[in-house]
Structure formats: structure tokens, C-alpha cells
Amino acid sequence: MHVGDLLQIKGLDLTLIWGGENLLDQAISGVTATDLEDPARFLQPGEIVLSGLVWWAEADRRARTERFVSALAESGATALLAGEETHGTVPVDIVESCREHGIALLAVPAHTTFRAITEAVYRRQWGDLSRRPADHFALPENVRNDLGRLVGHGADAGELLECGLAPFGTPSCYVLTSSGRTIARTASSPELPAARAAENLRGLTGETLRVQAETTPYDAWYLHVPQAGGAPPRALHEMAEVIGQHRHHHDRRHAARHRTWQDLITLVDRGGADTGALTNALMSCGPLAEGPWHVVVTATGGQLAESAAKEALMEALQHLPSAVFAVGTTPDAEAVAIVRSGGEGAASLREPWSLLHDCRPETPLHAGVSAPTTEPAAFRSALAQARYALAAARRGSPTPGHVASVEDLSSLDSLLAGIPADVRAIFSAATLGPLADSEPASHHRLLETLEVFLAHNCSWARTAEALHLHVNTVHYRIERIQDLTGRDLSRLDHKLDLRAALLCRPRTVSSSGPPCPTAV
């Protein structure tokens, strides 16, 4: 399939903005959808790139555009299919940059989904694969026929690997997710721990091919052969195409199950459902019907598709061998899972979470986990707990990828972290009074003294030593603080008020803010 063929597909309504005949004649090897500002690490030569242009912003448009389009050019992408929904039209900067870098540019109207484009490409590629002359294949004809039959019958990826690679001695070969989870492996392949598998995918040894499918950074599949030369490169590309078809059919088969999951999550999120409705929804989810359960809530930061949080949470839970769960989304772009408890609390999620975070380290990815519950009627309460833990993870984590459990909230700091930011700010300002404005140098010194004084258990001598001040100066400053705040630092409750107010002050840099890189 060639780039120009996209313009002829009925129903897609794509428009050519820029691209000469030579660019339109380029073959398409696959499809990647991304809104990363620098997507280079996720691109393969010959791919078309679908982007909603969420990364583009007026403030820094030229630098952002250059970074994105140059990444496409350096990776060997054949075309950029730019969505018009976000900005109404494709910005001129992108048109000029594509012309400069020699990247064909097509506009995608708002009514055309990226899924429709992806499926159209895969259908065409599969048809091309089936019609390709026999001498253009590395896989023998009988093997291709067997693979087609196996895909049609819903065979698993392991069977496909064994069948397709048998003519080459069935070398060690894996189908891995981007976080290192093994989907399938040949019989000659040893088990591969997820952390090592993820490391191998990023390494330079062996052969690694991305399996083409509509995915997020967290759930992409890769065909990985640890030893280079284990099979002819063309055969591996053909196997990656077959695994891509398997993934496509797999996702379609599981769509009904996901709808059942979503019904359950919607009931829990809305609240007010009677116990009978919740029980029926649970029964529809099969093995999940028996508790106890945890509720897990996930949210991503940055400019990812809404499905990213759901795919990240599903991928993390699938790393846990005994996990039984249902995952859905809420109108607030959260992903929510109800997980049958079997050790799948915060502790067991943290290792796969770090691997997921590494898939896109610049994007905040946090999760909150509730305490276990034994009654479906308590799901709404468990959801509130998980959301509180999520808020605490976002504010309290030193990295932008963290899993927090409501059972971890064992300190004043962690407890306050889950309170909404605007409520914290109001409390801090009301309690600190004039000191809430730390701009004047005198206020800054008084706040510093208060923090050190409380940290040293209100010891005058140790505070003076820590601040390199005379004890009389400390006495003067504490008196001044008491005057300004109306609090008496000889009283325990007033000490706690001021300590909480200091913890609730707005942070100048938030660990959940957009610009840091990550995945847990």
C-alpha cells in the first residue's frame, strides 16, 4: 500500500495538503498514532503517523513543530496525517515544516477517526499480503496458508510463532508489550522477566519489530528475536504482520467484555445504584463476582489520548498473574478498576508501574488504591478512597509516576496531600494570615523560622543553632509569628494548625505538573 492510496479510500475523506508524486508513491509499512512532542523513539521506517496535533501550541509553535516533524523525517516516516479537530485546520507552521523536511502531509477531517484509518490500512495490507506473488515471500506458501487458517480460528500468538518460524528452526522469539510483559514465546525461548524484557526492547541487540495496531505508549506489542540472524529479516516482518492481524482480531473479540466492564464502572462512578444492580453487573463479569475487592483509579498527565489511562491500568494489572479485574473510564478521563483482592494492592502494582512509566517518562502517571472491601455496596466508598490516594500520589510523589494506597496515608503530610489544592490553599492562607504572602523578606524569614522551630520540637536552643541565630532572635521571631497568626505556639492544637498550614502552602513546582518525563 502506498501513501497516495489513502486519498482513494472511500469514507476517509482525507485531503492532500502537501506532497509530490514521489512522496505519494512511498510504501506504507505500518501506522503509529501519537501526540508526543518528540515521538522519535516510537516510530519505525515507512510508517504513516496519525496525530491530533494536541502537542502544537501557539506560544512555542515553531520549536514544537520543528521537533515533531524532524523526528518523523529522521525516523523515516512516509507521511503525517494531521487531525483538524483540535485546531480547526492544520497550522501553517506544520505545512511549512513538512515541506522543508520532505514529509507528505494529509489532513484528517474531524468526522474521520484514527481507528478508521488504521483499520483501512491493515485491511489493505492484509489483502496485499494474501495476493503477493509467491516469490515475494520469505515464508513458504504452506506456512502462510497455515497461518491464515490459525488467525481465522483465533489461535493464540504462541501457536502463530511456532508455525511461522518452524522453517527456520524455530529460533527464540517473543511477542512483548512495551512494558516487558510476555504475550507469547516460542518453546525454545526461556522465560523473560518483565524488567529485562523491557530493557531488551530498548537495547541494540537482536531484532525488534513493532506490531502494527492502534495503541498507546503503554500497550504496544513488539516482535523480539534476541539473537540477530535467527530468521531472515523479511520473514520477521511477515510474522509481525501476522501478529498484527492476530492483535486486531483479539481486540475485536474482547470488545464485548470491555463493554460489560464499562457498565459496572459506570454504575459505581454514578453512585446511587442499588445492591442488586451492582451484584448483577458483577455477575456479568464472571470470575470477578466473588470478593474481596480493591478499587484502583489511574490518571495520566500531559497530552495523551483519553484511552491512555485505561490501557496503562489494564497493562499493569495483566502483569499480575492472579489478577481478576474489570476496567472502565469515567467522564473525567480517569481509568477505574475493580480488582478481586489476591495481593493486588499498591505494593504489587509498583513494579509494573515503574515499567509503564518508563514507556513515556515525560508524562505523569499515577494510581490510587483503596482499602479492600467485601461488599459491592461499598464500591462507591472505595472509589472515593482510591481517588483520595490518587490525589495524594500526584501531590506527594517525588517522581511523576507513583502508586499510593489509602492505607499508606499514615502521616499528616500524606493525609493533607489528598485534599483538593484550592481547599489546601484557602486553609493555609486563613491560618497563616499575613505570613501567607511570603514575598516580603521579613515574612520569608519568619516562615523559615516557624518551619525549623516546629521541626525541632519547639526547642529554642536547637532552632537557634540550626538557623545560626541568637536564642533571643528566635524568641523575637516566634513572638512576631504568634502576633501575625493569632496562634499560641505553647498549645499543641495551634502547633498542629500551623504545621498543617505550612504543608498546605501551594508548591512552586508540582510533581504532577505537565513537563517532567515518566511510567510506573
Q: Give the pLDDT confidence of 499-514 residue by residue, as tens digits.
A: 989 988 876 433 333 3
Do both 329 and 319 map to the same domain?
Answer: yes
185 closest CA partner among 159, 154, 206: 159
Residue 196 within any structural domain of the chain: yes
pLDDT for the residue numbered 437: 85
pLDDT for the residue numbered 313: 94
Do both 79 and 145 map to the same domain?
Answer: no
Task: Tally the domains of the chain.
Answer: 4
Comparing 486 with 272, the larger pLDDT belongs to 486
Residue 170 is inside which H or E element, if any? Answer: none
Q: Is the pLDDT of residue 517 over 50?
A: no
Q: State how far the Cα of 147 lies from the Cα of 141, in Å rounded to an integer.
A: 10
Residue type, 108: V
Do both 31 and 150 map to the same domain?
Answer: no
- CB of 71 within 8 A of CB of 40? yes
pLDDT band at 440 (very low <50, low <70, confident <90, very high): confident
Residue 128 within any structural domain of the chain: no
User: Phi-psi bin for 382: left (phi > 0), alpha (psi -120 to 50), beta?
Assistant: alpha
Comparing 438 with 357, the larger pLDDT belongs to 357
Q: Give the pLDDT confidence of 58-89 residue by residue, as tens digits.
A: 888 999 999 999 999 998 999 999 999 989 99
Residue 427 within any structural domain of the chain: yes
Do both 359 and 342 map to the same domain?
Answer: yes
Do both 158 and 58 map to the same domain?
Answer: no
Per-residue cell: 263: 457498565
Q: Give the pLDDT confidence of 121-155 residue by residue, as tens digits.
A: 877 765 555 445 444 567 888 888 899 888 888 89
pLDDT for the residue numbered 230: 79
Residue 273 within any structural domain of the chain: yes
pLDDT band at 519 (very low <50, low <70, confident <90, very high): very low
Name which of 24-38, 315-329, 490-504 the model is least confident about. Answer: 24-38
Q: Model pTM?
A: 0.65
Do both 263 and 405 map to the same domain?
Answer: yes
The CATH number for 284's domain is: 3.30.70
Residue where one domain finishes, among candidates 221, 253, 285: 253
Comparing 383 with 44, the larger pLDDT belongs to 383
Do both 203 and 231 map to the same domain?
Answer: yes
Q: State how far the Cα of 132 lies from the Cα of 238, in Å rounded to an integer.
A: 12
- CB of 144 within 8 A of CB of 165? no
Highest mean pLDDT among 225-234, 364-373, 410-419: 364-373
The CATH number for 482's domain is: 1.10.10.2840
Residue where one domain finishes, among candidates 191, 225, 253: 253
Per-residue cell: 170: 524455530
pLDDT for the residue numbered 153: 82
Name which of 132-141, 237-246, 389-398 the model is least confident about. Answer: 132-141
pLDDT band at 23 (very low <50, low <70, confident <90, very high): very high
Q: For residue 183, with 0-12 CB atoms within 10 Å meaning exposed, 13-18 middle and 19 or more buried, which class applies?
A: buried
The CATH number for 221's domain is: 3.30.450.40
Starting at the edge strand that comes first in sequence, how are the strands of the sheet with 221-225 ordered? 182-185, 174-177, 221-225, 207-211
Distances from the Cα of 337 to the Cα of 118, 130, 262, 385, 475, angstroms: 28, 40, 10, 13, 53
Do both 264 and 412 map to the same domain?
Answer: yes
For residues 398-418, b (16+ Cβ closer than 10 Å) or e, as one string? ebbbbbbbbebbeeebbebbb
Comparing 396 with 499, the larger pLDDT belongs to 499
Residue where one domain finishes, among candidates 401, 417, 433: 417
Q: Is the pLDDT of residue 306 over 90?
A: no
pLDDT for the residue numbered 126: 58
Q: State how far the Cα of 506 lies from the Cα of 29, in Å rounded to an integer.
A: 49
Do both 58 and 164 map to the same domain?
Answer: no
Do both 395 and 498 map to the same domain?
Answer: no
Whether residue 292 has a cis bond before it, omega within 30° of 0: yes
> Using only C-alpha atoms, what is the Rg of the chain?
28
Residue type, 207: E
Residue 456 within any structural domain of the chain: yes
Q: State how far the Cα of 240 lies from the Cα of 3, in Å rounded to an integer.
A: 20
Q: For residue 229, with 0-12 CB atoms within 10 Å meaning exposed, 13-18 middle and 19 or more buried, which class applies?
A: exposed
Residue 400 within any structural domain of the chain: yes
pLDDT for the residue numbered 308: 87
The CATH number for 74's domain is: 3.40.1390.20
Residue 100 within any structural domain of the chain: yes
Do both 279 and 151 map to the same domain?
Answer: no
One-character DSSP codes across 37-86? SS-GGG--TTEEEEE--TT--GGGHHHHHHHHHHHHHHHT--EEEEESTT
Mean pLDDT of 446-453: 92
- CB of 31 within 8 A of CB of 123? no
Range of the domain at 199: 134-253
Distances from the Cα of 427 to the Cα of 406, 439, 486, 520, angstroms: 22, 19, 14, 32
Nearest 5°: the CA angle 419, 421, 426 is 95
Do both 87 and 225 map to the same domain?
Answer: no
453 closest CA partner among 427, 429, 479: 479
pLDDT band at 317 (very low <50, low <70, confident <90, very high): very high
pLDDT for the residue numbered 17: 95
Residue 514 within any structural domain of the chain: no
Q: For residue 262, with 0-12 CB atoms within 10 Å meaning exposed, 13-18 middle and 19 or more buried, which class applies?
A: middle
pLDDT for the residue numbered 303: 59
Report the chain's mean pLDDT, rounded to a whole number.
86
